[in-house]
Every structure is written in C-alpha cells, then in structure tokens.
Amino acid sequence: ILNVEQSPQSLHVQEGDSTNFTCSFPSSNFYALHWYRWETAKSPEALFVMTLNGDEKKKGRISATLNTKEGYSYLYIKGSQPEDSATYLCAPDVDQGGKLIFGQGTELSVKP
Amino acid sequence: ETGVTQSPTHLIKTRGQQVTLRCSSQSGHNTVSWYQQALGQGPQFIFQYYREEENGRGNFPPRFSGLQFPNYSSELNVNALELDDSALYLCASSLEPGRETQYFGPGTRLLVL
C-alpha cells in the first residue's frame, strides 16, 4: 500500500506569517504530484500538477517545489491571509492513469 | 467553481440498502474518478471511468460499481450498505486519464445507520 504522508497535520499561524508544509511519497513509480486546497463545505480546488524533478510552480502567494528522487514536495504560502485557511492535500499519481493517492492533508488556520 | 456538480448533497440510508450517487462532469471531460473520504482521512480512490469504460479500480469490493454516460454524467452505486460506508463521496472529472488536473465536485455526504 502506497503511503503518502503530510506534515504537519495542522498549523495555526497569524496573518502575515509565511508557512510551509511537506508531502512525502515513495519515489518509485512516480508520474505526477497534485496539490489541492480544500475549504470546508466547498469542492477541493486544484493548485498545481507537478511532474518533473526540480519543478517549481507558483500561483499568487502560493508556491510549490518537487523532488522526485527523494520523494517529497513542499508547499509554501507567503504572507498568510485568513482566506488561506483550508486543508491542503497532496496526491501523487503513481500509475500514469490519474488514480490519485491522497495524504491526510495539512489543516491551516490563519488568525487575523 | 469547478463546474462539477454532485447530487444529492446529503443522504441517510440503513444497513443493507442500496444507494446511487450522481455526478455531472465538466463538458468535454471524458474521465471521471470517484473517491471516498472517511472521517479523518484523505480521499481514497474507488474507481475511474474513461469513455464509459472502467479504467482502474482501487481497493473497494465489487458492491461498489459505477456507470458513465455519454452526456458527461456518471453514477456511483453501492449495494448492501455497511456502516463503514458512511463517508463523503467525491467525483472528479478531467479531460483524459493521466497527468491532467482533476476538477472535483462538492461531494455527497452519506450516512449509513
């Protein structure tokens, strides 16, 4: 069974703080890594799909890096805002067919 | 908004019953994947349909089955419901299988009593 681990499980920060989370996954049979942002009572929102070792992607204040050789990805949020409060999920695709294996997520709470 | 809708939003069933959950994909998306999220866990892959054929299955028993229709709608059917089937069920559509962004619906919350 493929094990995808995200840390920390939860994070509480003040508005303006920068933060980062980790996603660890087995490096064998890797095809892509998906990051999602999921607010309560809404649909998970796609942030990034990353495929190449060394990939860096950015969307506004959120960026992500990928290391496929060692099996990890970092998600960074610069200057957190209350609206960034959500659960952040990573999911590798390990068979090239889009069958995502999700981690448990990191729950971020940003206080004003 | 992802353009993916699911119905119903909530559902209560009793053990042994059957349930059908529905998903409407984005127009033009030939692939739909279904996931189950139990409390405290990340979503787990159930199966995927591509052009109306099953295209991969996770570790779920045969009483979980699906259908995909030409009009970009799909169904997840669960027979002989068990208490552990209580979960949030999510569908996600994409253009093709593979390294494509998957667009998720808001989910159907199923409670089995």
pLDDT in tens, A6-64: 999 999 999 999 999 999 998 877 889 999 999 998 999 999 999 988 999 999 999 99
> With a CB-CB cutoff of 8 Å, which residues 19-38 of chain B face chain A?
31, 33, 35
Dist. CA A65–CA A47, nearest whole Å:
12
CA-wise closest residue to B91 among A100, A79, A80, A55: A100
Please name which of B82, B35, B83, B38 lies closest in space to residue B59, comparing C-alpha atoms. Answer: B35
- pLDDT for A1 equals 59
Helix (H, G, I), strand (E, B) or coil at B67: strand
Residue A43: list chain B partners with CB under 8 A.
1-2, 4, 103-107
What's the pLDDT score for residue B96? 87
Identify from B99, B100, B108 which residue to disrupt to test chain A contact, counting A C-beta atoms within 10 A and taking the largest count.
Answer: B99
- Mark yes or no for CB contact B100/A31 under 8 Å: no
Q: How many helices (H) and strands (E) does chain A have?
A: 0, 10
Arithmetic mean of pLDDT, B24-45:
93
Write b or e for each residue in A81-98: b if 16 or more Cβ atoms lie within 10 A of its Cβ, otherwise e: eeebbbbbbbbbbbeebb
pLDDT digits (tens, 9 = 90+) for B7-24: 999 999 999 999 999 999
Percent of chain B with pLDDT over 70: 98
From residue B94, alpha-carbon distances to A7, A13, A65, B24, B37 in Å are 28, 34, 23, 12, 19
Amino acid letter at A96? Q
Q: What is the pLDDT of residues A50-107, one digit of tens each?
A: 998 899 999 999 999 999 999 999 999 999 999 999 999 999 998 778 889 999 999 9
Amino acid identity for residue B15 in this structure: R
Q: How many residues in chain A?
A: 112
Q: Which residue has the higher pLDDT, A106 or B26?
A: A106
